[in-house]
Amino acid sequence: MKKMLLILSVACLVGATQSCKKKGCTNSNATNYNSKAKKDDGSCTLPVVEPQNEAEEIGINSQPLYYFKIDGSVQDSRTKQNVVQSYNDGSNYMESQFHYGSNPSEIGIVISRRGMADPSTLTNAEIEAYFAPGIYDLNDFRISAIKDNGQSFSTLYSSLDQSNSQVKIVASQSEVVNGQFSVKVYIEFNCNTAATSGNWTEKFVTEGKMVTYFKI
């Protein structure tokens, strides 16, 4: 009987000790870490880790936008009010222009899908085929109106070395926007450009990412 009472007494003492332990967040990586807490109560809140590169957030389901670096400087339409306008010349290309700011003539970037048949003669399926995911060279695309310190740069010069340049269509999907057939495209690109005016200056554009629409 005495042995049983001793066991019960020890059990009660252990239980009391456990109940007296201070509860709180014991994860030192949490924003509400409590160094005095001895027992974790599940309240830990871990900090939100932002992507090191904001371009990582871009995907086919993003709103129309562009992102790239030129000489290490980031150009990103998400910091500006922007609108996409699409054009074709009735012969062999479709083009998307990004305008931003209050001045509609202020262009952030233009990308053209070249080498097409006259878009007005193509079926929707044939237009989709021109934007199928894959890797393309700059004979298939032209990138222009890129700004750096007020100067405009473009890939339009045949003398530029584009051996390290590439356009990759990561994803594409057809959509009907305001009753009009469109192809929404997520593009990644690197390209060599040159100034369109003033002294000849070359700039290599890196980490380019764009979500845009092409439409008739």
Question: Hey, what are 196's tokens?
Answer: 């369109």
Does residue 98 sit in the same domain as residue 38? no
Does residue 61 sit in the same domain as residue 38? no
Does residue 25 sit in the same domain as residue 75? no
Does residue 63 sit in the same domain as residue 158? yes
| Tens digit of each residue's pLDDT, the chain (216 residues) | 444 444 445 444 444 444 456 788 777 666 787 888 777 776 776 554 444 445 557 899 998 999 999 988 888 887 777 888 888 877 789 999 998 766 667 788 999 999 998 888 999 999 999 999 999 988 899 999 998 888 899 999 999 999 999 999 999 999 988 888 999 999 999 999 999 998 999 999 999 999 999 987
For residue 14, being part of any structural domain is answered with no
For residue 8, being part of any structural domain is answered with no
Does residue 38 sit in the same domain as residue 74? no
